[in-house]
Structure 1
């Protein structure tokens, strides 16, 4: 049975991992906690931006001499290679750590193998702690990119009960409620990139920034990506200096994904044609559907031309989570790979 102090430390590590999500790419957003020999928290760390120390090294620095004879709790197997920083497995050994709990094995053949290094040095290793929470949480996108070689793509949209994302006259503010919009901004602040089509820029002139509840810009801003062949005006808000922007003159989804290789956590925000193109290319890995208790009766649908011509070709998804957000319902869905 896992000691209660280790379970508590895991939650701290998970929270630390989530707190840096979006700021560490192409490295994984890892969280680490060092417990001293008596089981007390001695240090907490998370992955720094590229070029900075990894989570274990930061936690060890915070713990100091209290790490000797203690326990490390980490969301990802400690790395075993020297890149811009040294191997975390060796740093744990050198610090005198006696046991290590980690959630998920490192799938990178270059960086993996840290557990073996730890065992060879006499450290007791416990793999798999809280693996499900990590796989479906902070490391979801990074693990997907490591496994598939491409970014993890979430399609987020807000729609009425009759599937409309805008009214007949084109107005769409606001279909979802204020709680949903606040949640979207919080999620944006942890993303690597937000993608929209040129049609959305021309119609809505979105800013695509992550904002705090008081309206100020969040400390981390994702890359804003505009996809399409149409020209957008130089006055478009998406081209200002509030966040970096990449304009891709293409409609090819493969080219878009190739351009975002170093941005594993990608959100598709608009509009219906772009969403349809990603769906048709089978390149949507998760759907976040905010359904509002509203009926319009006519207007723009949330998605167009997803490459489906008959019911037997329908793209099917399975429910991962259902939540209420204010007056709205948030459905989180993933593709049914068995279809």
Structure 2
């Protein structure tokens, strides 16, 4: 099979399209960027998707050109042009009508209704090539996960002593880890769409659940989600969170699907052994992020509760994907079998 030839200008345009994509919001739709190139490789126009109901990236870029100006051009897009009519029309049709001669795209569209825009373009006589780079899927990895699983990607985090305790016998837990590990946690918070705790953690610790990053007053903030039935006090710090507070019940799978329906692609579960164990027990933890502190606490306050493991044959094997020292602490990241 003959390998597709990608020009240096097209590769550079794809890198630029990924930058443009990140200017759009995360949500129900993926972040997508597009660059229109003239036959000589120069840039004619750029565009990106600005959220549900707004023009897709290709159409946004085309809208910046005079009628007919895209004839014979190349459209470079981070995601395969869509092939269906939703709130907006098919991008494949818009490109055909604009008269482009070539389309280079990154990720394949996984949607049941929207996929195969590339086939529609080829049928119209347009040269179509996929630039299969890992950066393309990485750009929208959480969105792609939602399309496959119907729920957000879930990271479960906890900090513990070397003997597996999350708190001292009297319940105090600030601080097991050092400042470097805590700074890393704030970066993780900012990288997720939402952050979850249980009502027990709210009542015991009154957490802020904000991302506080030195030198980043504009750091993205996760939406706070509280699982459980108990009332959240009006004086709780979460009531002053910059994002609207959400509450959720005990049926985790149903609640996760509701979050996905509202455009939440990733969830950071931070709140206590009860909630962390519930997600793991239900098979809903996709990544585990554990901070190990070089200290011993003893006592009953273990980092996890029962996971439904009765015998050694039922142990939940993980794949370690990252080991890193943060100050005096050790960060261990692992994926569950569902993500291996």
TM-score category, normalised to shorter length: 0.7 to 0.9
Residue matched to 1:208: 209
Residue matched to 1:314: 315
Gaps of 5+ in 1: none
Residue matched to 1:123: 126
Out of 95, 102, 106, the position equivalent to 2:105 is 102
Query: Matches of 1:212 and 1:60 in 2, distance apart?
Result: 38
Instruction: Please tell me whether the aligned partners of residues 185 and 210 of structure 1 are also in contact (alpha carbons under 8 angstroms).
Output: yes
Deviations 1:185-235 (A, max 9, x none): 3443443322111111112211222345346353x4332110012222111
Residue matched to 2:306: 305
Aligned pair in 2 of structure 1 residues 174, 55: CA closer, same or farther (>3 Å)?
farther
Farther off after superposition, 75-84 or 323-332: 323-332
Residue matched to 1:238: 238
Query: Matches of 2:14 and 2:20 in 1, distance apart?
Result: 10
Aligned pair in 2 of structure 1 residues 63, 272: CA closer, same or farther (>3 Å)?
farther
Farther off after superposition, 72-81 or 1-10: 1-10
What is the TM-score normalised by the length of structure 1? Answer: 0.84
2:224 maps to 1:224: yes
Out of 133, 136, 159, the position equivalent to 1:134 is 136
Farther off after superposition, 271-280 or 258-267: 258-267
Matches within 5 A, 1:72-91: 72-91=75-94
- Count of residue pairs the alignment pairs up: 332
Q: CA deviation at 1:54?
A: 2.0
Instruction: Please tell me whether the aligned partners of residues 74 and 103 of structure 2 are also in contact (alpha carbons under 8 angstroms).
Output: yes
Rg larger for? 2
Gaps of 5+ in 2: none
Instruction: Please tell me whether the aligned partners of residues 273 and 303 of structure 1 are also in contact (alpha carbons under 8 angstroms).
Output: yes
2:33 maps to 1:31: yes
Q: CA deviation at 1:273?
A: 1.0
2:254 maps to 1:255: yes
Query: Matches of 1:41 and 1:256 in 2, distance apart?
Result: 44
Query: Matches of 1:72 and 1:328 in 2, distance apart?
Result: 47
Q: CA deviation at 1:8?
A: 2.9
SS of aligned partner of 2:238: helix
Residue matched to 1:8: 12
SS of aligned partner of 1:143: helix
CA RMSD of aligned residues (A): 2.9
Query: Matches of 1:240 and 1:223 in 2, distance apart?
Result: 12
Query: Matches of 1:41 and 1:291 in 2, distance apart?
Result: 49
Q: CA deviation at 1:71?
A: 2.5
Matches within 5 A, 1:38-49: 38-49=40-51
Residue matched to 1:50: 52
What is the TM-score normalised by the length of structure 2? Answer: 0.84
Residue matched to 2:337: 336
Residue matched to 1:274: 275
Aligned pair in 2 of structure 1 residues 241, 277: CA closer, same or farther (>3 Å)?
closer
Residue matched to 2:189: 188
Q: CA deviation at 1:56?
A: 2.3
Q: CA deviation at 1:308?
A: 1.7
Query: Matches of 1:110 and 1:295 in 2, distance apart?
Result: 53
Farther off after superposition, 227-236 or 206-215: 206-215
Deviations 1:55-74 (A, max 9, x none): 22333345667644333332
Query: Matches of 1:43 and 1:181 in 2, distance apart?
Result: 43
SS of aligned partner of 2:270: strand
SS of aligned partner of 2:296: coil
Query: Matches of 2:37 and 2:103 in 1, distance apart?
Result: 10
Deviations 1:168-201 (A, max 9, x none): 4434344445454444434434433221111111
Query: Matches of 2:207 and 2:26 in 1, distance apart?
Result: 26
